[in-house]
Structures are given as C-alpha cells and as structure tokens.
Amino acid sequence: MEHKRVTLFAGHYGSGKTNVAVNYALRLAGEGKKTAIADLDIVNPYFRTADSARELAEAGVDLISPQFANSNVDLPALPAEAYRLVEDRSLYAVMDIGGDDRGAYALGRYVPYIREEGDYRMVFVANFSRPLTRTPEEALEVMREIEAACALPFTDIVNNTNLAHETTSETVLHGLGLTEQLSELSGLPVWLTTAEERVAAELAGRLSEVLPMRLQEKYFDLPEQKGPPKPRPLFG
C-alpha cells in the first residue's frame, strides 16, 4: 500500500471515517513509521478519535485531539499542536476531518501548508449503507460540499460500506460496486476497501487492497439505560 506523508479522511456523518483514520494510523505505526493522528472533528461529539487513545498510545501513535473533547463543551477548540502535523515532515500524519461541509471548515487553516508540500491524500470515505448516501449521486453531492468548505479537492475514495456487526462480505462487495460508480462520476480512483477483521479475512484473495479494521469502542449511557455504562462498538 502506497502512503503519502499526510492522509486526510472526510465523509458524511456516520460514514465511519474516524474508524478508518484510527485503523490507518495503526497500520502506519505497524509498518514502523513515526505516526501522529489529529482529530479535527469539532462538530460531532459522539464519534471521537480520542476514544481509541489507549490503543493508539500502545502502538506509539501520537494523538492530537480537540481540547475538552468528550466533554459537555459545545464546540471544542483545536490545539496549536495540530500544526505539527503539517510542519514536521518527519511525521506520517493522519487527519480525521469533521463530517459534511460544516465540519470541514476546521481544515481550512492547514490547507496552505498541505498544498505547499504536495505530499497528501485527501480521502472521501463512502458508506452506502447510510441514509443520505445511498447512491453514488448522493455521495458525490456530499463530496462536493466538503471540497467547497475546506478548499482542498479529494484525491481518492475509500469503500467503507458496512452495517456494523451485521456486515457481510456481500455488503462490502455491493458497496464496492457503488463506490466504483462514484469513481466514474468523480474521476477519482478507489484507493482501498475497508472491512472488519472477520469480513476482511473472508475477502482475502477476492480484493487486492483491503484494510482490516478493528471496531472502535466508546463508553456512554443511552438515555434509557440504567446502571454503569456499557461498551458500544462503533463502526458505521
């Protein structure tokens, strides 16, 4: 798998971009690369890169997350340390961009640095199991909105179509067909397909580029839940 120094993941809410970003960062670290990941999603307080802080630390991945992430602060602030990802060219930097166009605005301040270096991959994470991106045309509309907001065009597409723990190899392959249609509409290549480790093993030999995924877990209470919080795997 070819790597760029800076890899950015963006997509619609619920596309699973945070899980993709975390697992890709772990992949880089597993290959012995000095890796850091930044959570630039200051819009959605529920799906956080910080939820995987322990796994990232154990793998030697530096985590840069919004101040007051996972708190009741309405709009967490991005730390100045995030500039290290675009300034320190010894790092392999991964950026988790906010969902949709509103979340993508946070990337704007880093775009001049990213463009100047030119060693980046801007990835649209497509999940055709989500309500508002059921078709390639709907996904393309979201893609264009994000591009307009952050002033950085996408370069690649990832097929992350899944139904959480109900995902089968057929789910992923169906999504790949739609992702290939999105590729034709946008003119961008399909970089890779992601799948939970069990499903990725089933797809071995059928697809050339599959990133096996570990599901991110987050602890929080549902409104109706009583007693201590229980872990809930996040993948969608």
Domain boundaries, the chain: 6-234
Residue whose C-alpha is closest to residue 41's, from 102, 90, 84, 118? 102
Residues 38 and 87: beta-carbon distance below 8 Å: no
Q: What is the pLDDT of residue 137?
A: 98
**106 — pLDDT class (breaks 50, 70, 90):** confident
Rounded (5°) CA angle 62-56-163: 130
What is the spatial order of strands in the sheet that 156-159 belongs to? Answer: 62-64, 35-40, 92-97, 6-11, 120-126, 156-159, 190-196, 210-213
Q: What is the pLDDT of residue 66?
A: 67
Is residue 61 pLDDT above 90, yes or no?
yes
pLDDT in tens, 204-236: 889 988 999 987 655 333 333 333 333 333 343
Q: What is the pLDDT of residue 100?
A: 57
Which range, of 13-17, 50-54, 204-208, 219-223, averages the lowest pLDDT? 219-223
Percent of the chain residues topping a pLDDT of 90: 59
**33 — pLDDT class (breaks 50, 70, 90):** very high
pLDDT in tens, 170-189: 999 999 999 999 999 999 99
- Tell me, which fold does domain 6-234 have in CATH? Rossmann fold (3.40.50)
Q: What is the pLDDT of residue 190?
A: 97
Q: What is the pLDDT of residue 228?
A: 37
The pLDDT of 64-83, averaged and rounded, is: 60
Can you give the three-state secondary structure of the chain, one letter per residue? Answer: CCCCCEEEEEECCCCCHHHHHHHHHHHHHHCCCCEEEEEECCCCCCCCHHHHHHHHHHCCCEEECCECCCCCCCCCECCHHHHHHHHCCCCEEEEEECCHHHHHHHHHHHHHHHHHHCCEEEEEEECCCCHHHCCHHHHHHHHHHHHHHHCCCCCEEEECCCECECCCHHHHHHHHHHHHHHHHHHCCCEEEEEEEHHHHHHHECCECCEEEECCEEEEECCCCCCCCCEEEEECC
Q: What is the pLDDT of residue 78?
A: 61
More confident site: 132 or 74: 132
- CB pairs under 8 A, 24+ apart, for 52-55? 52/22, 52/216, 55/22, 55/26, 55/214
Q: Would the pTM of this model clear 0.75, i.e. be above it? A: yes
More confident site: 101 or 71: 101
Cα gap 228→57, rounded to integer Å:
26
When the pLDDT of each residue in the chain is averaged and rounded to a whole number, the result is 83
More confident site: 161 or 227: 161
pLDDT in tens, 79-102: 677 888 999 999 999 999 876 566
Q: For residue 62, what are its two tokens?
A: 């530096």
